[in-house]
């Protein structure tokens, strides 16, 4: 073993016919490149960059084995014409010394089209299309389609396949009584329900030969009623080993499960315990997944015997050089995935190609191809929030001489408030990453400083980037100056004390964040030592696996430290602006904790009695100790005219340019694009 801090993580895995250079798998993730015009060429550049960054094994997004298994709008069935173009993807990865698997995924009743099929005609609660039950002939043909797809993958250079047997897709649908109501040899007993997934792996091995990786992703926790009991999952895993699986990957939760499995509020490594339990049962290498986002954590998981390899998907969007930086002892410079889902899953859900909030280059590697500037300039950045930081780092990487000015005593801007929210602790990692990069790149950082235009001019600065962000909006409500009124900045940044009964004015992302913050008696935790037991108890997940699916009969159990009303004027559904992949869980947790959400509210006044409102034609008084204002923001771009008067070229980005619907994703992307001009 090497003398690196990550000896287990960086140790190769010898499979006999091939050798993976380390234990880090870039897990499968649908990026939208699968079906985008020119997507395979973009995918080749995307994966090549991750292979260059020393990913041990890459797994593609899901490709269906036949037309019925397509997940949605036009994604390829690889038997279709053009599959040979995948050779460009595999060549690009191999040229960088990497290995790559094609993921074969049949959507079953999750497929969003009228021809979707499933073991039984049982509709999914998250799909408007109802499936048709497969005939026995179709089952046999589909097994063959899986194996032929794997063979086609082999012919275009893939080192193997991942067969997707989790997350509630077709193979899971066959295995679980929840969705398999068949009375023939493909349903009923364990043997009958396991027959289809086992036949898929067996036939794939038969057709593709021994020197071909087959990773089976098994649903270790279904997190739905009618899921599989643990003894059946173990039995299937053992039979998969005999059927020819090379590696066993962890799948957690069906897509219709009402337990979050990857978003920010899921603690790091929240499900590694189930992988550890499985590892005792099988001899083939086992892979842990879900919320593994840094090398120290990954190393500890392997060293402790929880798993043999780790699978990270989104962290490779955030930083293609995750492994290379770990190898070089530069882990502090890893741009950490903060599990926000904003630029990856939330974009996929609306039919856009994924990218990453903290790394806008992800999936656009060719668009952002390195083009060194004609000449290095002296630049000043005013504002050390996410936009200013991203600009300073990218511009310095381009060779410019950059000085960063921040008026407060700390870097990070609004992210300092985000990371105060329990469950969003990882936001601090974005600040840590930028600070480490600024240091390495020699960017001068001046805290508690507002630059004087003349001094900048004298220093030879040519361009100034104003990334001064936003200030909270102060709504014109009678009594807004009452001492019980606080802004969200006073709550989250200044940590002013807040009483037990609270009304929140405004229900955008910040209003929901403040509500979550106030439901906790304690502040944020340390993301490196997360309280996994508390998370599992909150969401009703049973480590003891008393019931199939591993859910507790009594369901989630959460309590709030305060009585809270969250208010908005619009009559719309509350939380409509939250992310699609996270909003349901944010709302569900707060509802569990008794949060009262009122839409269509009119604000009348604030006084000693509390907040007076009208709602549904009635006047009400909320007898609260505090009213927290989360009513959006206004731009803060003061000083532009003075800078210009001093002869400086000024660029305004992020919230300072446009506060409406600002989020860090836009601020960072604007910054990175400007810095690369």
User: Active-site residue numbers?
Assistant: 169
Shortest spacing between CB 401 and ligand SF4, in angstroms: 29
CA dihedral 262, 266, 267, 273 (to 10 degrees): -70
| Nearest residue (CB) to ligand SF4, 260 versus 453 | 260
Choose, by CB under 6 A, the member of 315, 506, 540, 548 that binds ligand NAP.
506
Q: Say whether residue 511 binds ligand NAP (CB under 6 A).
A: yes
φ and ψ at residue 164, rounded to 5 degrees: -80, 105
Residue 633 binds which entry of ligand NAP, ligand SF4, none, with Cβ cut-offs from 5 to 8 Å by kind? ligand NAP
Mark the segment that binds ligand NAP (CB under 6 A) among 188-196, 403-411, 439-447, 563-571.
563-571
Shortest spacing between CB 489 and ligand NAP, in angstroms: 11
579-618 mask for ligand NAP (x: CB under 6 A)?
Answer: x---------------------------------------
Choose, by CB under 6 A, the member of 59, 630, 643, 648 that binds ligand NAP.
630
Shortest spacing between CB 397 and ligand SF4, in angstroms: 19
| Nearest residue (CB) to ligand SF4, 51 versus 344 | 344
Shortest spacing between CB 496 and ligand NAP, in angstroms: 18
Q: What is the 3-state secondary structure (H, E, C) of 545-612?
A: CCCCCCECCCCCCCCCCCEEEEECCCCCCCCCCCCCCCHHHHHHHHHHCCCEEECCEEEEEEECCEEE
Give helix 583-592 / helix 509-519 axis angle, nearest 10°: 40
| Nearest residue (CB) to ligand SF4, 246 versus 430 | 430
Give the CB-nearest residue to ligand NAP: 508
Question: Which chain residues interact with ligand SF4 by CB under 6 A?
Answer: 314, 317-318, 337-344, 356-358
| Length of the chain as a residue count | 677
- Running DSSP on this structure, what letter comes out for residue 134? P
| Nearest residue (CB) to ligand NAP, 318 versus 510 | 510
| Nearest residue (CB) to ligand SF4, 344 versus 464 | 344
Task: Using alpha carbons, select from 659, 660, 593, 627 the residue that is nearest to residue 491.
Answer: 627
Cβ–Cβ under 8 Å, residues 191 and 138 = no
Shortest spacing between CB 43 and ligand SF4, in angstroms: 16
Mark the segment that binds ligand NAP (CB under 6 A) among 288-296, 442-450, 502-510, 607-615.
502-510
Residue 509 binds which entry of ligand SF4, ligand NAP, none, with Cβ cut-offs from 5 to 8 Å by kind? ligand NAP
What's the rounded Cα separation, in Å, for the pair 225 and 548? 7
Shortest spacing between CB 345 and ligand SF4, in angstroms: 7
Shortest spacing between CB 279 and ligand SF4, in angstroms: 27
- Which helix (DSSP H) or strand (DSSP E) does residue 465 occupy? strand 463-466
Residue 505 binds which entry of ligand SF4, ligand NAP, none, with Cβ cut-offs from 5 to 8 Å by kind? ligand NAP
Choose, by CB under 6 A, the member of 75, 319, 663, 669 that binds ligand NAP.
663
| Nearest residue (CB) to ligand SF4, 362 versus 599 | 362
Q: How far is CA 431 from the centre of its chain?
A: 18
DSSP string, 241-279: HHHT-SEEEEEE--TT-SS-SSSTTSPTTTTHHHHHHHH
Residue 314 binds which entry of ligand SF4, ligand NAP, none, with Cβ cut-offs from 5 to 8 Å by kind? ligand SF4
What's the rounded Cα separation, in Å, for the pair 356 and 363? 8
Choose, by CB under 6 A, the member of 78, 119, 251, 509 that binds ligand NAP.
509
Strand 309-312, strand 470-472: pairing: unpaired
What's the rounded Cα separation, in Å, for the pair 514 and 507? 9
Q: How far is CA 192 from the centre of its chain?
A: 36
Choose, by CB under 6 A, the member of 220, 507, 650, 674 that binds ligand NAP.
507
φ and ψ at residue 266, rounded to 5 degrees: -85, 120
Shortest spacing between CB 318 and ligand SF4, in angstroms: 5
Choose, by CB under 6 A, the member of 508, 588, 604, 640 that binds ligand NAP.
508
Shortest spacing between CB 659 and ligand NAP, in angstroms: 8
Cβ–Cβ under 8 Å, residues 298 and 292 = yes
Contacts (Cβ under 8 Å, ≥6 apart) of 482: 606, 607, 608, 627
Site for ligand NAP in 448-487 (CB under 6 A): 473, 475
| Nearest residue (CB) to ligand NAP, 136 versus 573 | 573
- Running DSSP on this structure, what letter comes out for residue 625? S
Buried-state track 502-538, b at ≥16 Cβ within 10 A, e below 16: bbbbbbbbbbbbbbbbbbbeeebeebeebebeebbbb
Strand 470-472, strand 444-446: pairing: unpaired
Task: Using alpha carbons, select from 63, 99, 61, 101 the residue that is nearest to residue 82.
Answer: 63
| Nearest residue (CB) to ligand SF4, 44 versus 338 | 338
What are the helix (H) ranges across 617-663? 640-645
288-327 mask for ligand NAP (x: CB under 6 A)?
Answer: ----------------------------------------
Contacts to ligand NAP by CB under 6 A: 342, 473, 475, 505-511, 513, 568-570, 577-579, 630-633, 661-663
């Amino acid at each position: 073993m090497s003398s690196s801090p990550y000896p287990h993580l960086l140790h190769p895995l010898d499979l006999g016919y091939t050798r993976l250079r380390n234990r880090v798998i870039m897990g499968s993730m649908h990026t939208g490149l699968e079906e985008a015009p020119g997507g395979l060429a973009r995918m080749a550049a995307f994966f090549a960059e991750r292979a260059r960054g020393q990913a041990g094994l890459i797994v593609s997004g899901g490709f269906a084995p036949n037309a019925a298994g397509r997940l949605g709008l036009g994604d390829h069935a690889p038997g279709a014409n053009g599959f040979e173009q995948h050779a460009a993807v595999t060549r690009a990865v191999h040229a960088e010394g990497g290995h790559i698997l094609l993921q074969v995924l049949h959507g079953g009743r999750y497929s969003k089209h009228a021809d979707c099929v499933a073991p039984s005609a049982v509709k999914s609660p998250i799909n408007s299309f109802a499936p048709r039950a497969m005939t026995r002939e179709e089952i046999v043909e589909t097994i063959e389609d899986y194996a032929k797809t794997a063979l086609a993958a082999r012919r275009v250079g893939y080192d193997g396949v991942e067969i997707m047997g989790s997350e509630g897709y077709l193979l899971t649908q066959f295995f679980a009584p929840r969705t398999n109501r068949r009375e023939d040899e493909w349903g009923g007993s364990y043997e009958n329900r396991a027959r289809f997934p086992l036949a898929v792996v067996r036939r794939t091995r038969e057709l593709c030969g021994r020197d071909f990786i087959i990773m089976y992703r098994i649903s270790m926790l279904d997190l739905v009623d009618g899921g599989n009991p643990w003894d059946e999952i173990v039995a299937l895993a053992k039979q998969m080993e005999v059927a020819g699986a090379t590696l066993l990957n962890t799948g957690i939760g069906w897509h219709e499960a009402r337990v979050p499995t990857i978003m920010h509020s899921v603690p790091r490594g929240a499900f590694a315990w189930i992988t550890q339990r499985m590892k005792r049962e099988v001899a083939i290498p086992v892979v842990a997944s879900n919320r593994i986002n840094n090398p120290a954590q990954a190393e500890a998981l392997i060293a402790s015997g929880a798993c043999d390899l780790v699978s990270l998907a989104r962290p490779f969007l955030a930083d293609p050089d995750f492994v290379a930086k770990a190898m070089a002892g530069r882990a502090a410079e890893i741009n950490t995935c903060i599990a926000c889902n904003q630029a990856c899953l939330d974009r996929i859900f609306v039919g856009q190609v994924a990218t990453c909030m903290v790394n806008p280059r992800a999936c656009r590697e060719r668009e952002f191809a390195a083009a060194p500037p004609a000449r290095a300039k002296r630049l000043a950045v005013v504002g050390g929030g996410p936009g200013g930081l991203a600009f300073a780092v990218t511009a310095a990487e381009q060779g410019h001489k950059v000085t960063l000015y921040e008026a407060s005593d700390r870097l990070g801007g609004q992210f300092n408030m985000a990371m105060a929210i329990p469950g969003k602790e990882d936001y601090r990692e974005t600040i840590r990453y930028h600070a480490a990069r600024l240091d390495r790149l020699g960017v001068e950082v001046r805290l508690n400083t507002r630059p004087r235009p003349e001094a900048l001019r004298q220093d030879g600065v040519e361009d100034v980037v104003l990334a001064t962000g936003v200030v909270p909006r102060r709504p014109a409500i009678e009594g807004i100056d009452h001492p019980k009124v606080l802004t969200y900045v006073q709550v989250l940044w200044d940590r002013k004390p807040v009483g037990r009964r609270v009304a929140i004015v405004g229900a955008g992302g910040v209003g929901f964040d403040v509500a979550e913050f106030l439901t906790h008696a304690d502040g944020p935790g340390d993301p490196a030592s997360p309280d996994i037991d508390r998370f599992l108890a909150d969401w009703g997940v049973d480590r003891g696996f008393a019931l199939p699916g591993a859910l507790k009969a009594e369901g989630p159990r959460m309590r709030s430290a305060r009585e809270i009303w969250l208010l908005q004027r619009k009559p719309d559904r509350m939380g409509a602006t939250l992310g699609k992949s996270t909003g349901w869980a944010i709302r569900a947790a707060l509802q569990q904790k008794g949060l009262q959400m009122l839409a269509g509210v009119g604000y009348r006044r604030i006084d000693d009695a509390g907040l007076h409102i009208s709602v549904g034609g009635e006047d009400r008084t909320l007898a609260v100790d505090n009213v927290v204002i989360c009513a959006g923001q206004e731009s803060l771009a003061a000083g532009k005219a003075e800078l210009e008067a001093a002869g400086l070229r000024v660029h305004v980005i992020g919230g300072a340019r446009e506060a409406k619907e600002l989020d860090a994703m836009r601020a960072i992307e604007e910054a990175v694009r400007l810095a690369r001009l």
